[in-house]
Structure 1
């Protein structure tokens, strides 16, 4: 019924025309192009997907979950490539109702079990009873309460074919994760709105699942296995096997990295040495000074190829490190307030040389050391060392050598017979190191101590037990001075097969101090071994276990593969814990795959050499893989050369 003024026929005829004119003027006023950008220009529903503009959408509902708790069910799913969104709803459930449900389930299933003889049906009933018992145990122990959980997986692709491929990929992953999925056919509209972050669960009656809170908590992605600290100074360690992203660590970031120390453990043939060579190559490329201790002569070839220096240590080696040369003005932690002069440096060096002499003659007496103290002082005095004000003014050739010490003792024959008698036994021992067949320690230092890459080949010393301890002590004393004399320069000490060295008390003492104190000097030690048991059994002169100290003081640990005994030793002696997944990966001992632990972070890592690293490390394999001669350096600059348009864009780029 119409109560207004009655319209005439003429007014009625003219009214639609005015309406059309109004709509036309409104269209010209509105910015419809901007609205079209915000809102899809089309929306069409199909039984199992939605087409919205250029997007094809499908929502998968989860209707059942794994029966046993394990960390982060959806970890593999959330790392899948594609436009994937996971929506979850959690709703409290009545504990009384759930307890009654599980209690009745146990009674009914056990009664049913008495009547069933089919093995398959009995197995299923037993599993259902076991699950119900487990839920009751959790509740009675006050470890959990009960909730309803709902999960939707929102998929979006640019074509229907891509959407179907993504759906198939996700479905396979869900099956692997023991999660039962369902595509709500003819309910896609409700599923779409349920997956949006607006709190509308329109399919709740069809997708709910009871669960205890402990199991449900493992769905939250709080155990992300990413170790990615990218900065210009970061070390790229490898590829994360779970996420396919980089594993990168900034070892100089003291907020996130306690120290730069690392241990690399793995059985033979799993890629441990390859990984360590890769690290050396990358340090050299970044102009970081690297010292290498090489017990098996595995690094000499690559070091020489890179222009570094290799020191081959043996009883009659031509390369020398003079045990009487002073390499550093760093003395100890406790005298920082004192003025360090040559007098103080020589006194400190004399104490260390007496320790070296004790290795040459293990039964040296206190009286012998007292006489040697004055002999050594006279040796430095006669060499003219005290006339200088700094060691930077003294050349290597100006320092006294063992021959000078020998000559000073020989003078006592004429000047002080009593003192000579005290040193008579030591005199004849020292003679063999000066004029005999063991001349390793006699002579001026003739290696390039300023080289950025310096390797010590210790292989020959493995069969020369009489000089091994002294050679280790002399070498490690030199390294300690070189590393600790400069707190600003970043230096790396790399030692492979260090289980050989932990059996020697002098070497063990050096590594103990290195792993404990290198952090103060902006340095890091990287030790690799395949004999974890030998490392854990290595002791120092005071019977302290060096293996525990080295591994315990390594903020970063890399495990390339271990047998059951190795895992057991780490667990029992170092109290390290490994998950079942980690144990399985370690026991597989697959080449190039490792578990890396950085502080509290853990990740499975794949180590792969770059093209240039492979060319330098393994020329034969490089030629087989790339089909190019390893002697020819590829033109890498040509590969990254800018196109003309990129050059124009770069030149015209304006900084804000």
Structure 2
């Protein structure tokens, strides 16, 4: 065997290509190898090796997308399809001659008493059918060549991958043959120059050829290759269950960045939520988490976040707090007209008054009548005036009133106000007063704040969630803030089952996009989302939905809400823990959530996994 020889195919591949007009080498010189070494079964182009397989045998019938297994092969594999149309007149003559040969074979067998050959009978039928379709103009014939070039960094790796590709082709009933002594021609036949130097063609009709094109793919579309990658171009969720690829999703590139995660208990909702949170923090975003079961405490400690434990002694969030105007070096207690009403100054105060209405509806667990709502509204404004706060934003720096001040103002509104104040007694003077009996004692700060609700009584979970969401609302509407802010509401069913809480969550879902924010709602109680108008509204205002394993009782409602196919429905009914279906922007993909070992230590909370000790701020 002669030694390998060097070859330079075109001037672009020669070393020392002259520079272009701008003084830089041509694009071809920058991406093409300096030379090619040719051996019997492979070529060496640059620092890699390549070997080509020519497909010379095909199955009798092929399904739609029959090239997909080759296109999704996990190693580097170039698939080249050369197509040359055959003129209709030439194709008709060839088919006529072929049918004559088949008919002659059949007659010869009949005259000599031989049994019919099933293969000849099938081929004769196919040829007659194709001739009819060709005559009617329903089909055309093409000369098709299919070549597969395998690339690897070493010869050993090349031989291994080549054997795997041949085995894959065999499983597809394709006969793939190495192009021995024609390795150079095979490699050039798979270059994007539309030159077939091998000429190993097979005749195909339109239907068989059309089914080879990959019009669908299990992978999400790649990022625009003409646009430079930027920080924030999606996060990695895991591996694709339908291909060897990975799932990278950019929720901020959708119509809105809101996300809803639905799944039964134990399906992996919290795991996936924490993975999304952690990887968004990598991209320099801020986040707030409402944590009902202390599942995010270790994560906050690992990244240097803050944990606020509602329900602990001395931990309070005052619902009467107002957004603070920009700081000016002015003494606010000098020359302030408390009756002033500058343009736009009432928005913050009015919004906070509306929130207090919502909070009272949750605390009282009963909707207010029109007369009661009027009394509450008057008492709220009276409580603010009693603290010296008006619609003038300059007064908002003064200490805000508390729930006890509202109760006192209500008792001055007659019997209607007194009855409401009596119903508020547990939260003013009774057993639940600890969270409401004074000004706010903790402030969210830093890039991550986790609000733990585990220390709260069950009756106060919805109210605690509302207080945190209102605090977040004031944070993200701050005009001086420019960073992205994500809000995670875990086990949102505690809020969605209450009409007042669901309405507040719905308003936040609609407005958070305008403030460079995103809302993530996680719940295992699908009925609270799908069987209420407000729950469906929250769902419809999320551009990204992630569905994990579903219980049989909820599967029908989920399938109807998301128009699931039979295969998707089966997938969710049998999904393993951590397997999920991502739906967004008219695209769906199944994936398995994947975290690194370091991430696993703070993400997993199931028995058998012990979190590493971290030090973090806790209140």
Using the size of structure 1 for normalisation, the TM-score is 0.67
| Aligned position for 1:555 | 543
Which residue is 2:596 aligned to? 610
- SS across alignment from 1:90: strand
Q: Which residue does 1:9 correspond to in 2?
A: none
Answer whether contact 1:309 1:453 (CA < 8 A) is retained: yes
Asked if residue 573 in structure 1 is aligned to residue 561 in structure 2, the reply is yes
Unaligned runs of 5+ in 1: 1-31, 112-120, 331-336, 413-418, 541-545, 634-656
- Note the 1:341-490 alignment, pairs <5 A: 341=345, 345-359=348-362, 360=364, 362=366, 364-386=368-390, 389-390=393-394, 393-394=397-398, 398-410=399-411, 412=412, 419-439=413-433, 440-458=435-453, 463-464=458-459, 470-486=463-479, 488-490=482-484
Could you tell me whether the CA contact under 8 Å between 2:324 and 2:396 is conserved in 1? Answer: no
The residue number in structure 2 matching 1:650 is none
Partner of 1:275: 272
2:237–2:247 Cα contact (<8 Å) kept:
yes
Matched, 1:340 2:344: yes
Q: Distance in 1 between matches of 2:348 and 2:46?
A: 80
* Deviation (angstroms), 1:569: 3.9
CA contact (8 A) 1:615 1:630 kept: yes
Q: More displaced, 487-496 or 222-231?
A: 222-231
CA distance in 2, matches of 1:271, 1:124: 54
After TM superposition, give the deviation of residue 492 of structure 1 in Å: 0.6
CA offset digits 1:218-248 (Å, max 9, x no partner): 4347745355584233453234447766654
How far residue 427 of structure 1 moved from its aligned partner, in angstroms, is 2.9
Among candidates 89, 94, 105, match of residue 82 of structure 2: 89
Give the corresponding residue for 1:290. 287
SS in 2 for 1:181: strand
Cα-to-partner distance string for 1:535-558 (whole Å, 9 max, x where unaligned): 322333xxxxx23x3443333333
**In the TM superposition, what is the alpha-carbon distance from 1:214 to its structure 2 partner?**
7.1
SS of 1:89's partner is: strand
CA separation of 1:143 and 1:511: change in aligned 2, threshold 3 A: farther
- 2:202 is aligned to 208
How far, CA to CA, are the matches of 1:421 and 1:623 in structure 2?
A: 57
Deviation at 1:520, TM superposition (A): 0.6
Structure-2 separation of matches of 1:363 and 1:596: 37
Asked whether the equivalents of residues 549 and 573 of structure 2 are also in contact (C-alpha less than 8 Å), the reply is: yes
Q: Is the Cα–Cα contact under 8 Å of residues 297 and 457 in structure 1 kept in the other structure? A: yes
Contact 2:237 / 2:275 at 8 angstroms: preserved in 1?
A: no
CA distance in 1, matches of 2:453, 2:128: 62
Partner-residue secondary structure (3-state), 1:443: coil
Residue 495 (structure 2) pairs with residue 501 (structure 1): yes
Shift of 1:68: 4.2
Contact 2:258 2:509 in 1 (8 A): yes
Q: How far did 1:133 drift?
A: 12
Q: How far is the alpha carbon of 1:181 from its aligned partner?
A: 2.0
Q: Specify whether residues 76 and 533 from structure 1 end up closer, same or farther in structure 2 by C-alpha distance, changes over 3 A only.
A: farther
Match of 1:303 in 2: 300
1:168 paired residue among 157, 163, 166: 163
Whether contact under 8 Å (2:461, 2:494) holds in the other structure is no
| Structure 1 residues 284-329: Cα deviation after superposition (integer angstroms, max 9, x where no partner) | 5555321112234422444356554444556x97532222222367
8 Å CA contact retained: 1:236, 1:246: no
Deviations 1:409-460 (A, max 9, x none): 44x3xxxxxx422323223212332112231433222222335433334457
Deviates more, 1:512-521 or 1:347-356: 347-356
Please, which runs of 5 or more residues in structure 2 have no aligned partner?
A: 1-13, 18-32, 107-115, 327-340
Identify if the C-alpha distance between structure 1 residues 286 and 428 changes in structure 2 by more than 3 Å, giving closer, same or farther. Answer: same
CA contact (8 A) 1:265 1:532 kept: yes
Displacement of 1:386 in angstroms is 3.6
Q: TM-score, normalised by structure 2?
A: 0.71
Q: 1:613 to 1:192 in 2, by over 3 A?
A: closer
Partner of residue 319, structure 1: 315
Query: Alpha carbons of 1:203 and 1:231: their partners in 2 closer, same or farther (altered >3 Å)?
Result: closer
Alignment CA distance shift 1:339-1:134 (3 Å): farther
In 2, Cα distance between equivalents of 1:283 and 1:157: 35
| Aligned alpha-carbon RMSD (Å) | 5.0
2 CA distance for matches of 1:130 and 1:525?
61
2-side partners of 1:135 and 1:529: how far apart? 56
Q: State the Cα deviation string for residues 495-533 of structure 1 (Å, max 9, x = none).
A: 223344332222322332233222111001122234445
Check if 1:539 corresponds to 2:527: no
1:120-131 counterparts in 2 under 5 A?
none
Do the aligned residues in 1 keep the contact of 2:47 with 2:153 (CA within 8 Å)?
yes
Aligned match of 2:230: 231
